[in-house]
Amino acid sequence: MRRTVFEPDHELFRESVRQFVQRTLVPLDEDIRAERMLRREVWLEAGRQGLLGMQVPEEHGGQGAGDFRFNAVIGEELARVAAAYNSIVSIHIDICAPYLLELATEEAGKRWLPGFCTGELVTAIGMTEPSGGSDLAALRTTAVRDGDSWVINGSKTFITNGGHADLVIVAAKTDPERGAKGISLFGVEAGTPGFTRGAKLDKVGQPEADTSELFFENVRVPASHLIGELDRGFVHMMERLPQERLSCAIANVAHARGVLEETVDYVKERTAFGRPIGAFQHNKFLVAELITKLDVAQAFVDQCLAAHVAGELTAVDASKAKWWSSDVQNEVIDGCVQLFGGYGYMREYRVARAWMDARVTRIWAGSNEIMKEIIGRDAGL
Summarised one tens digit per residue, pLDDT across range 244-276 is 999 999 999 999 999 999 999 999 999 999 999
The more confidently predicted of residues 122 and 138 is 122
Active site residue 331: no
What does the buried/exposed string (b/e) look like for 23-60 if buried means 16 or more CB atoms within 10 Å of the residue's CB? Answer: ebbeeeeeebbeebbbeeebbebbbeebbbbbbbeeeb
Instruction: Read off the pTM.
Output: 0.96
Beta bridge partners of 221: 150
**pLDDT number for residue 254:** 98
Catalytic residue selected from 35, 244, 261, 369: 244
Residue pLDDT, tens place only, 175-203: 998 989 999 999 999 999 999 999 899 99
Q: Please say whether the beta carbons of 250 and 258 come within 8 A.
A: no
Identify which of 183, 270, 262 has the alpha carbon closest to the alpha carbon of residue 230: 183
Q: What is the mean pLDDT of residues 153-162?
A: 96
Q: In the chain, at which residue ranges do the beta strands (DSSP E only) sit?
A: 123-126, 142-146, 149-160, 167-173, 183-189, 195-200, 211-222, 226-227, 271-272, 275-276
Average pLDDT across the chain, whole number? 96
| Residue 316 banded pLDDT, cuts 50, 70, 90 | very high
**pLDDT number for residue 261:** 98
**pLDDT number for residue 135:** 73
Beta bridge partners of 143: 152
Percent of the chain residues topping a pLDDT of 70: 99
**pLDDT number for residue 1:** 80
